[in-house]
């Protein structure tokens, strides 16, 4: 009986968070509602992401806090089955982020999908806005505080070391690390 009450209470809590998100979105806009994902319990994150367009497979866990930038919904986010998304992740959602099955993303990882010089004086030099998807292939592992730049594909069953800055594609079954990330060794 206790388990039933506990489960019902958790379901009610998740529903209340979804309602809170919807009200914030309606009154203050999506950007304001999006900030809620920095504070809610982990159990409420996936239902909100799915409700507003993300495709998320079964048996995933997405930790909170999580930060989404440059989005009006979560349609650019695709997460496969059996994935783990750690705490303090920063997703730049200007272009799609595709995370295949069985991917692990450690805490404080940054995934960027665009480059924009904004109001910098560099704008005078007609530097174009670059926007391109990021793909994390099946079974890869992204170490803590790594940064994945726009247009990068991390190959199947590859490892990105903690703190690495990945500026170009990572081949399948490789271990990369450093700034910029370089191949350290191949996985046999």
Claim to verify: residue 16 and residue 78 sit in the same structural domain: no
> Model confidence over 123-170: pLDDT tens digits?
777 766 678 999 999 999 999 999 999 999 999 999 999 999 999 999
CATH code of the domain in which 157 resides: 2.160.10.10
Claim to verify: residue 75 and residue 36 sit in the same structural domain: no
Going from the C-alpha of 68 to that of each of 32, 127, 180, the distances in angstroms are 11, 25, 24
Claim to verify: residue 36 and residue 93 sit in the same structural domain: no
Claim to verify: residue 139 and residue 96 sit in the same structural domain: yes
Claim to verify: residue 146 and residue 98 sit in the same structural domain: yes
Claim to verify: residue 29 and residue 65 sit in the same structural domain: no
Domain carrying residue 147: 54-186
18: pLDDT confidence band, cut at 50, 70 and 90?
very high
Claim to verify: residue 29 and residue 102 sit in the same structural domain: no
- Strand-pairing partners, residue 29, are none
Residues whose CB is less than 8 angstroms from the CB of residue 31 and which lie 6 or more positions away in sequence, other chains included: none
Claim to verify: residue 88 and residue 162 sit in the same structural domain: yes
Q: Going by DSSP bridges, is the β-strand pair 114-115/130-131 parallel, antiparallel, or unpaired?
A: antiparallel
- Give the number of domains in the chain: 2
Claim to verify: residue 66 and residue 37 sit in the same structural domain: no
> Model confidence over 157-182: pLDDT tens digits?
999 999 999 999 999 999 999 999 99
Claim to verify: residue 59 and residue 39 sit in the same structural domain: no
- Per-residue pLDDT, averaged over 34-47, amounts to 91
Claim to verify: residue 98 and residue 154 sit in the same structural domain: yes
Per-residue pLDDT, 118:
73
Which pTM value belongs to this model? 0.90
120: pLDDT confidence band, cut at 50, 70 and 90?
confident
Using the predicted structure, report yes or no on whether residue 1 has a pLDDT greater than 60. no
11: pLDDT confidence band, cut at 50, 70 and 90?
confident
- Per-residue pLDDT, averaged over 66-78, amounts to 94
Claim to verify: residue 27 and residue 86 sit in the same structural domain: no
Check residues 61 and 118 and name the one with the higher pLDDT. Answer: 61
């Amino acid at each position: 009986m206790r388990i039933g009450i506990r489960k019902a209470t958790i379901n009610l809590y998740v529903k209340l968070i979804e309602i809170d998100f919807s009200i914030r979105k309606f009154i203050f806009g999506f950007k304001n509602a999006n900030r809620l994902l920095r504070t809610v319990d982990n159990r409420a994150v996936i239902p909100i992401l799915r409700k507003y367009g993300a495709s998320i497979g079964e048996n995933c866990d997405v930790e909170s806090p999580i930060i989404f930038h440059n989005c009006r919904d979560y349609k650019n986010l695709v997460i496969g089955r059996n994935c783990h998304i750690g705490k303090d992740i920063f997703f730049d959602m200007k272009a799609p982020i595709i995370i295949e099955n069985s991917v692990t993303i450690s805490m404080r990882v940054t995934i960027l999908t665009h480059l924009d010089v904004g109001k910098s004086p560099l704008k005078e030099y007609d530097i174009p806005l670059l926007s391109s998807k990021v793909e994390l292939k099946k079974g890869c592992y992204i170490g803590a505080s790594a940064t994945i730049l726009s247009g990068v594909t991390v190959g199947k069953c590859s490892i990105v070391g903690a703190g690495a800055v990945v500026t170009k594609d990572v081949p399948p079954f490789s271990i990369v690390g450093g700034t910029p990330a370089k191949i350290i060794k191949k996985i046999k």
